[in-house]
Structure 1
Amino acid sequence: MIPRFKFSASIGKVLPSLLRPCNFPPLVSVSNYTYTRGRVVSRIDQKFIQNLGSHKIKIKTKLQSVKNFSKENILTLPNAISLARLLATPGLGYLILNNNHMYATGIFVVLCVSDLVDGYIARNVNGQSSIFGSIIDPVADKLMIGTATITLGIVGLLPLPLVILYISRDVGLVLFGAYLRYISLPPPVTLKQFFNLKLKTVEATPSYVSKINTVLQALLITTSLLAEVFEFSDSSVFPFLWYLTATTTVWSSVDYLCFKSGYRMIRRKRRKK
């Protein structure tokens, strides 16, 4: 019978000389190693083995979060206000086309205030911010501004080149956002998956330049409507506002399309086949 030896300090002194020719790292001292089930294991390895279970759980959780889409609650007060603003937009266009400038001015101001209110609630009230809100809010704003701009251009209160610039910019941003949405979804992309706004893949956040542009557009629309109400349409302030808003419109378009400052990818992009 082969005798069974106990691991002792003498063996710890002999092992380093035996292991060096095999290019194994030398054992510094016996106190740093333990003999477990026929194996010499360092305390560092023991600690790693003990933490391996928790690391596996963390890695599995991260992989699951990447694999699955995250969902959220879209039934919030800011989203309801944005939808109400969206539904009121056709009425605004109808009033402008029928030369009801006083009522159109009142409704437009109320809609602009509602935009400030839902933004404040979403930023400062817990549970009211959502990815759906970050999408529907700018969509409602662009439709409101676009409807007012087109109708004011039809009745001759805004120059046609400025109207074309506004609409081209908004249409381009919508198409660019749709493209980012498409490449962020896993293949195969279906219409149901594409229009399911609970699946958050791209977050749209207005840039600083875009906020300035929106304020200037709202100011120009309000001033144009008030000019008809109080009959001061010949004021020299309008050409200045036209050129200023045109400049910020082009600037914000370049900022979005070239630098992508208004979009953030929530998950990794779709792999190419």
Structure 2
Amino acid sequence: MLPAIIFRQMQRPMSAGALHLGGSTALEHVLGVGGSSFVNCLNRYAAATGFIRISFLDINQRRNWDVARLRLYADAKKQSLHLRTIQGRDLLQGVLDKQRAEFIERKNVLVDDIREARHKVQERVREKIVEIREERENIMTIPNLLTISRAILSPYIGYVVVQGDFTLGMSLLVVAGITDLLDGQIARRWPSQASKAGSFLDPMADKLLMGCLVVSLCYSELLPMWLTGIVVFRDVFLLAAGFIIRYISLPPPKTFSRYFDATHVTAQLEPTFISKVNTGVQLATIGISLGAPIWNYLDHPMLHGLWYLTGATTIAAALSYVINRRDTFKIIQKKT
């Protein structure tokens, strides 16, 4: 760098005395060497080449100019760095503010969604509570009490028949038949006494009565075995179907207590016409067969004919429930 700073080509020559007088002290100050000997050396080199001249004044000016330029450059760099720092800080602050705004917006949206979902759940729970309350009904009505009394009386009637007390058995059968007629008449005449639970309780009580009587009569040899099997099979089939319908129609949760809760009605049974006819025929057959040892007409041909008629109507009633299963029971839908 020394030749580039202190040497330059001159357009006009300069005397050795002027070089010695003007730059001796400056050159000694800049280069740290004796001015006289150094200038003499340069002058001899310049005289030999005719190309290089030295200006000690230019050296001082160049040095001062370079220092000022460096200071300006440093100040410019410092100012530029400061501006970039401010710009970077502003940019970072803008990004942070934008991210914060997006986060707050997302948080508000999430909070609104949670509140809306909670509101919907609360509304659904209220609807469920209302539906359950609406599905429950008062089962302690007069027709249901008569039906339950008939169901309780059925095993005792069977026991009396097995013991051979046919007269008492006939009397209890008449009482059971009267309760069967009364519960239907009361439910039809007074709608407030009707209940959906009664549509299941009444046929089940009839099936229990028929089952107890046909088994006890078969044990007492007053009813043939084949007819007893047909009647019992149909009743067991209908009872199993009733339990299945109860399970299907019961809304969640399907707990044991809710399953056997008679006040929680989930379906309604509508017996077919042939089933109603068969119930009347079965009651007549049971009563006439039970009266055979009392009025002495055992093995009468008309009694055998009545047995065959009862068997035929029993099979037809069972088939009617299978064929018209969509019309025989109705699942109580939830109200919307």
* From 195, 210, 221, the counterpart of 1:145: 210
Aligned residues of 1:176 and 1:257 also touching (Cα < 8 A): no
CA 1:65–1:151 in 2, change beyond 3 Å: closer, same or farther?
Answer: same
Aligned residues of 1:173 and 1:257 also touching (Cα < 8 A): no
Please tell me the residue identity of whatever aligns with 1:157: L
Please tell me the residue identity of whatever aligns with 1:122: A
More contact order relative to length (CA 8 Å, sep ≥ 6): 1
2:330 corresponds in structure 1 to 264
Kindly report which structure 2 residues correspond to 1:33-112, keeping only aligned pairs within 5 A, or say none. 64=127, 68-69=131-132, 70-112=135-177
Deviation at 1:186, TM superposition (A): 2.3
**Is 1:238 paired with 2:303?**
yes
SS at match of 2:216: helix
Aligned residues of 1:181 and 1:201 also touching (Cα < 8 A): yes
**Is 1:122 paired with 2:122?**
no
Kindly report which structure 2 residues correspond to 1:184-263, keeping only aligned pairs within 5 A, or say none. 184-260=249-325, 261-263=327-329
SS at match of 1:264: strand
SS at match of 1:68: helix
SS at match of 2:213: helix
Aligned residues of 1:66 and 1:267 also touching (Cα < 8 A): no
- TM-score normalised according to structure 1 size: 0.72
Separation (CA, whole Å) in 1 of partners of 2:182 and 2:270? 17
Aligned residues of 1:95 and 1:103 also touching (Cα < 8 A): yes
Over the aligned positions, Cα root-mean-square deviation in angstroms equals: 2.0
Deviation at 1:119, TM superposition (A): 0.6
* Cα shift readout 1:2-41 (whole Å, capped 9, x = no counterpart): xxxxxxxxxxxxxxxxxxxxxxxxxxxxxxxxxxxxxxxx
Separation (CA, whole Å) in 1 of partners of 2:247 and 2:321? 17
1:22 corresponds in structure 2 to none
* Cα shift readout 1:119-149 (whole Å, capped 9, x = no counterpart): 1001111310011211111111111111000
Q: Which runs of 4+ in 1 moved over 2 A?
A: 63-69
1:38 corresponds in structure 2 to none
Aligned residues of 1:201 and 1:266 also touching (Cα < 8 A): yes
**Could you say which structure has the larger radius of gyration?**
2
Separation (CA, whole Å) in 2 of partners of 1:101 and 1:164? 22
Separation (CA, whole Å) in 2 of partners of 1:184 and 1:158? 38
Separation (CA, whole Å) in 1 of partners of 2:255 and 2:272? 30
Gap regions ≥5 residues in structure 2 = 1-122
* From 141, 148, 156, the counterpart of 2:221: 156
* Aligned-residue identity in percent: 34
Which piece of structure 1 moves more, 213-222 or 177-186?
A: 177-186
Separation (CA, whole Å) in 2 of partners of 1:183 and 1:67? 21
Separation (CA, whole Å) in 2 of partners of 1:85 and 1:79? 10
Separation (CA, whole Å) in 2 of partners of 1:89 and 1:176? 21
Separation (CA, whole Å) in 2 of partners of 1:257 and 1:132? 22
CA 1:149–1:264 in 2, change beyond 3 Å: closer, same or farther?
Answer: same
Q: Per residue, is there more helix in 1 or in 2?
A: 2
Please tell me the residue identity of whatever aligns with 1:240: G
SS at match of 2:268: strand
